[in-house]
Structure 1
């Protein structure tokens, strides 16, 4: 039970509120999770960073969402080891494509991170 500290509670709440369609609350919770998260929990940091990016794109804050997703990608490296992380990147790509595929930041992010990109 020690694992479920305040950071994890905020992180789980961010996921919960994002799925409920309350991206403002999800973003707030994700920021708190990331601020409180222990440094050695890298996979959780990547996951909650992507959760933050999803909340931002849900709010149509596309440029910020892409920047946040880039931060998660930098933490994850070229090939994220976790299937959950890869799935969350896919969810972000799907949501970004649905919300704002023609916005410059979205187009750039989608092109740079396409599966066949160099």
Structure 2
């Protein structure tokens, strides 16, 4: 008698209807440039330079993610973030760069910014007050 295994038991998970396959959509360089241009009041020349930096960052991110090695990707992304910050620091004024750092999400354990709660507080580590 043949036995049928559920898809998950066979190591194959069926896609959930209405869900997109692959990584969640993120902000692209254009959207991020628009946000920075508005919040930092970038000049026309700064917009051109920041756009090039963000596009280069996106290309390098995609290359890192395509390796399939999570540890290598994570380490590479950390280095890429530092490199991008250094390039932006060279383009922005001291005041703009300080503002950029203040509005930049702070990544906690696991590489993700905390969700919900108060800024600067990681709800995953906060204790409920009951």
After TM superposition, the score normalised by the length of structure 2 is: 0.30
Q: Which has the higher relative contact order, 1 or 2, with Cα contacts under 8 A spaced 6 or more apart? A: 1
Higher helix share: 1
